[in-house]
Amino acid sequence: MKKTATPTPAPETEDTVTPAGAAISAPERTPEQWATLEERAAKADEHWERLLRTAADLENFKKRAARERIEAGQSASAALLQKLLPVLDHFEMAQAAAQTTEVPRAGTESLQAGITMIQQQLKGILAESGLEEIDANGKVFDPMLHEAVSQLESADVPEGQVLQQIRKGYKLRERLLRPATVIVAKKPAA
């Protein structure tokens, strides 16, 4: 005896097509069901619109934050450059004074004093902006602050201590901008 398969009930849809191609009509929905479906569809549309607005707001926020970050950097640079302009003016005046042929011997001393004052003015502006010199002379070698370019034997200075600073290092607040270039002492050969 051959058994025939009984069809399984189709999920509730308006029209379902069977594999044989015959359309089966789904049971009619009640007005309450239609109202519930329409209400859910309206809520889904509302949530979709809210999602799109939120995504657009987030994208706008990212763009605005990036623009403000660039503007803040430019503003900080402009403020520092405005402070440095008088220093540049003073250097130009010193250069003009040095080029005059009528400078007496005593004039070179005053020129040197003027250049020293300009250097102090520049150092003051940079220190005010957070720049700090790294003084390595006589200190123990620290690879986080110093860059050793060579070692020299020394009986007077303990091994691992900075013997000579070749170039100054600088930090901007706590961030290292440039390590100090140094020569480190080592024990003399026996």
Task: Give the chain's count of helices (H) and strands (E).
Answer: 2, 8
Q: Distance (Å, rounded) from C-alpha 65 to C-alpha 27? A: 55
Res 50: pLDDT = 96
**Is the Cβ–Cβ distance between 113 and 121 less than 8 Å?**
no
Q: E strands along 6-123, which residues? A: 15-17, 23-25
Q: Print pLDDT tens along the chain (190 aa).
A: 455 555 555 455 555 555 665 666 666 889 899 999 999 999 999 999 999 999 999 999 999 999 999 888 888 878 887 888 888 888 888 877 777 756 566 667 777 888 889 999 998 888 888 889 999 998 999 999 999 999 999 888 899 999 999 999 999 888 999 999 999 999 888 7
Res 115: pLDDT = 86
For the full predicted model, state whether its pTM sits above 0.75: no
**Is the Cβ–Cβ distance between 171 and 177 less than 8 Å?**
yes
Res 19: pLDDT = 60
Res 63: pLDDT = 96
**Is the Cβ–Cβ distance between 161 and 141 less than 8 Å?**
yes
| 132-190 is a CATH 2.30.22.10 domain | yes
Give the domain 30-129 fold. Answer: Hemagglutinin Ectodomain; Chain B (3.90.20)
Res 185: pLDDT = 93
Res 84: pLDDT = 84
Tokens of 22: 């015959």
* Helix, strand, coil shares, percent, the chain, to 5: 50, 20, 30
User: What is the DSSP secondary structure assignment for residue 12, as one 8-state letter?
Assistant: S
Tokens of 132: 């700090």
**Is the Cβ–Cβ distance between 1 and 16 less than 8 Å?**
no
Res 189: pLDDT = 83
Res 20: pLDDT = 60
Cα atoms found within 13 Å of the Cα of residue 93, Cβ hemisphere only? 12
**Domain limits, the chain:** 30-129, 132-190
Q: Distance (Å, rounded) from C-alpha 84 to C-alpha 63? A: 32
Q: E strands along 102-145, which residues? A: 131-134
